[in-house]
Every structure is written in C-alpha cells, then in structure tokens.
Amino acid sequence: MLLVYFGAQSAWALGLLGLVLLLAALIAIQAHRSRAQGGNEELPGMLGEVTESSDARGKSWALVRGEIWQVQCDVPLHPGQTVRVVRVRGLTLQVELVADRDVSLGEST
C-alpha cells in the first residue's frame, strides 16, 4: 500500500531515514550512559608547579593542568617546586612535594 502511494524510491528514502534516526538514538543513549570524562575527579595524581611560596598556614598557589589552584601542603613550598595532587577539598588541592628524580622519570599517574 505504501509503495502505491509513495512509490518505490520514496520507500527507500523513508527506510534510510529510519535507519539514520535509529543510529542517532543509539549513539545518544550510549553517550548518556557513559561517565563524564574530565572535571576535578581526574586531578588526584596530577603534577603541578608551585607559583607562590607558602604562607604561615601552609597555603600556596600552584599551576596544575593549566590552571592556578590554591594548594595546601604539610611542608613549606617555594616557587618552581613540583607537587603532586593528593586530594581535592572544595577549591583547595591537598598536595605533596615531589622529589626531583620522580619528575625526571615522568610519573604523572
């Protein structure tokens, strides 16, 4: 009945359009189910460079992933030192000082 009303070529076009829509729906469902790739969840383990010395409370600033973050460390930090992110607490990163030999090995988890 459809072939009589629309013709054979229109039926092929409608079938192809249906397949494209089905494929688009499957891709959308798969994208919706996958986890977010990025954000602050991937910060722990990343390396950064200290940009300002620590103050009396142990807070400093460091360049991590191309962004300046407020960091806190148990030891005093000085500009140019390399740190590794241990955990994220709000907008402050808890870091640890990285030995120079670890940086040369390229350990950036």
pLDDT at residue number 57 = 86
The SS3 assignment for 76 reads coil
pLDDT by residue for the chain (109 residues), tens only, comes to 555 666 667 778 888 999 999 999 999 999 888 766 667 778 899 999 999 988 888 899 999 989 999 999 999 999 999 999 999 998 999 999 998 755 554 555 4
pTM of the predicted protein model: 0.58
Main-chain dihedrals φ then ψ at residue 58, nearest 5 degrees:
85, 10
Check if the beta carbon of residue 20 is closer than 8 Å to that of residue 83: no
Identify the three-state secondary structure at position 106: coil
Q: Look at residue 10 in the predicted model and tell me its pLDDT.
A: 78
How much is the pLDDT for 72?
Answer: 94
Domain segments of the chain as ranges: 2-33, 40-105
From the candidate CATH numbers 2.60.120.560, 1.10.10.60, 3.30.70.870, 2.40.50.140, the one assigned to the domain spanning 40-105: 2.40.50.140
